[in-house]
A and B are shown apart, each in its own frame.
Chain A
Amino acid sequence: MKPTATLATAARVLRQILHDPRTIALLVVVPSLLIGLMAWLFDTTPVFAQVGPAMLALFPFIVMFLVTSISTLRERRSGTLERLLTLPLRRLDIILGYALAFGVAAIVQAGVAVGFAIYVCGLDVEGSLWLLLGVAVLDAILGTTLGLLASAFARTEFQVVQFMPALVFPQVLLGGVFLPRDQLPDVLRSISDWLPLSHAIDALNAIARGTEDIGGDLLIVAAFALGAVLLGALTLRRRTP
């Protein structure tokens, strides 16, 4: 491992984001806007109190998945990846650099979304706010790492965007937002047990209720994120046809 190459890559990715104010605005504002819309939509019902925590898992996850998969695909297609792979750096340096840079972006994004949900939309959280923020960030990082992995299997921007309905929507449907997970049909229930987003949503709900026994859920989310990073590094091939 060469920490300088990882950090240089992370700094470079962040610099690229900084040169694109519109992307920053979308990254930071869109999840909060959607959460605000949900709160307003269910203004006269108790629904927002139930699904609000899940929204903190959903929107950062989706946005980071999209942003990461498209920007790494761009790197594959522009020839810069081929150049990087002829330079003295490990494949893991590239993937970790990306994960680190988008992880920083995820902290900002999740921080704004959590603050907005609680202080503007009046979301009730019994448990620790820091823990809630931590889980939201971990979840955004999960979106980042799955996006990195997805970009390896896409050749065009069209394909990578199609990965969102394929990889992300089933997790949203089965994650307990539409129907609590314990009311799902048995088969779907067991499938949802194997999806990382279900556990992220469980963890956020638990914190909102004030129960903080979420170690198992966090471990599963982190394991998926780590697995995606390692698989992502394996899919980078120095030699191509």
Chain B
Amino acid sequence: MRNTWSIFKRELGSYFSHPIAYAIIIVFILISLGLTFSFGQFMRSGDASLDGPFFFWHPWIYMLLAPAVGMRMWSDEQRSGTIELLGTFPLSPWAAILGKFLAAATVWLIAVGLTFPVWITANILGDPDNLTIFSGYLGSYLVCLTFLAITMLVSAFTRDQVVCLIVAVSICVFMVLCSYDDVIRELSNVAADWIVEPIVSIGVWDHFRSLMRGSFRVLDFVWFVSLISACLLGTSAILSAKRA
């Protein structure tokens, strides 16, 4: 636990000693709020709920930006050789994996948290269901953590950050598109159900949409948490296999 905390502190410090964390936070806030007030038509919809105008855009933004935060997690350690230091310190591989994941998750927690003015605006302009908004935030953050975990797994494979970014973005884009309504409709026209259904089940929309609209389903939590855990376990397995 102490080692996890030390790794977490170092990683978080390194995000904020480079422009990366500031750039991601600012770009995320600008894009998410920009989309809310433009294409999201927040002011014209006459509805104080945030699911359509605000949360709807989040998976689209995360699929491009979450891998940019996570791409250096293991790639950089492998490229610079510092993985050899970590591997010879008396700590379990899990301390490093969790410390790194939690640090990247904290950068995103700050980014997502700093969109709070939109929540305040909704409350000033109308009478939204705050529990639904909280649920939307939770769903949004879980999507982000899932994409971060996927990026971490990819970064364990390669020492090249650009390769990691391209592969992780591709996977995340696929997970967003494959369960999007318009894509499912097109897919159903050209492929049989037994092909479409497994593809759709990989996507995030079904699970995110229910949380975005305020319905807590155990199924969704289990889906997100198992995917994140599987990616972290996979990271541990890949890092061990690379040394064997």
| Pair from one complex | no
